């Protein structure tokens, strides 16, 4: 559960919206849409505790450390870093108390799930943007956090990768995890995500995706 009360965020002195109230229930799957610069990514960072809100409060029903997985937009990774894809994915086991055997098994399954088995030993430098994105998603799936925040997870993914992504998002949703997904592909949001939070400079609206996206001409929010 994520409850925001009178929340404002953005650069100091420049809040992106008027105070916002909303509640996303446990196990919900919600898209965040809005124009470039409307504050979608910052909102995820505020929820993840990586950025402080300007005013207002956020309540989570889980602790931020370990129970929350955040997938930022991927440009922040140093591609020259000397580790392999498998080592990057295995970081998802941080804090896990599982036996090495079980971990190996789960790592293998996760790599297969995200079609990465053949790339396990490649250095980051030799991965395409889509492969790296799938690796970060595989790391997320190993972490088993109940609250998942994804910032444009479909960026850099090809058609096959996107199909894989939506399959896993539905599987995570079915397991009762809470998901918040920033997404600018409105057709995909309508098709895959039941609820949508639309962020505008005049405020935000939370509602069923099919209603919210039908109301808005595509050019205004895309």
Q: Indicate whether 52 belongs to the interface with other proteins (CB under 8 A).
A: no
Structural tokens at position 211 = 């209603």
Nearest approach, Cβ of residue 91 and other proteins (Å): 6
For residue 214, state whether it binds other proteins (rule: CB under 8 A). Answer: no
Name which of 149 and 213 has its Cβ closer to other proteins: 149
Q: Is 125 in the site for other proteins (CB under 8 A)?
A: yes
Residue-wise DSSP of 72-135? --GGGS-TT-S-BHHHHHHGGGTT----HHHHHHHHHHHHHHTT-GGGTT-BGGG--HHHHHHH
**Range 139-175 burial, b when 16+ CB lie within 10 A, else e:** bbbbbbbbbbbbbbbbbbbeeebbebbbebbeebbee
- Under the criterion CB under 8 A, does residue 95 sit at the interface with other proteins? yes
Contact with other proteins (CB under 8 A): which of 13, 14, 78, 99?
A: 78
- Contact flag: residue 159 with other proteins (CB under 8 A): no
Instruction: Indicate whether 61 belongs to the interface with other proteins (CB under 8 A).
Output: no
Judged by CB under 8 A, does residue 51 bind other proteins? no
Euclidean distance between CA atoms 4 and 135, whole angstroms: 31
- Residues lying near other proteins in the complex (CB under 8 A) are found at 48-50, 64-66, 68-70, 72, 76-78, 81-84, 88, 91, 94-95, 121-123, 125-126, 139, 143
């Amino acid at each position: 559960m994520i409850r925001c009360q009178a929340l404002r965020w953005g650069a100091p002195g420049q809040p992106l919206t008027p105070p916002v109230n909303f509640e996303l229930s446990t196990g919900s799957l919600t898209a965040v849409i809005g124009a470039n610069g409307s504050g979608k990514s910052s909102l995820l960072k505020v929820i993840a505790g990586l950025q402080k809100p300007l005013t207002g409060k956020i309540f989570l029903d889980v602790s931020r450390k370990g129970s929350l997985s955040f997938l930022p937009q991927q440009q922040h990774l140093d591609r020259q870093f000397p580790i392999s894809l498998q080592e990057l994915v295995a970081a998802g086991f941080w804090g896990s108390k599982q036996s090495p055997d079980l971990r190996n098994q789960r790592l293998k399954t996760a790599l297969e799930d995200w079609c990465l088995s053949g790339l396990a030993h490649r250095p980051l430098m030799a991965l395409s943007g889509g492969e790296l994105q799938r690796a970060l998603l595989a790391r997320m799936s190993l972490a088993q956090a109940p609250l998942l925040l994804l910032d444009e997870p479909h960026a850099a993914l090809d058609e096959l990768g996107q199909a894989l992504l939506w399959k896993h998002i539905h599987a995570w949703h079915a397991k009762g995890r809470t998901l918040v997904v920033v997404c600018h592909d409105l057709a995909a949001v309508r098709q895959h995500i039941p609820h949508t939070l639309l962020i505008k400079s005049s405020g935000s609206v939370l509602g069923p995706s099919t209603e919210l996206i039908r109301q808005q001409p595509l050019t205004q929010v895309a």
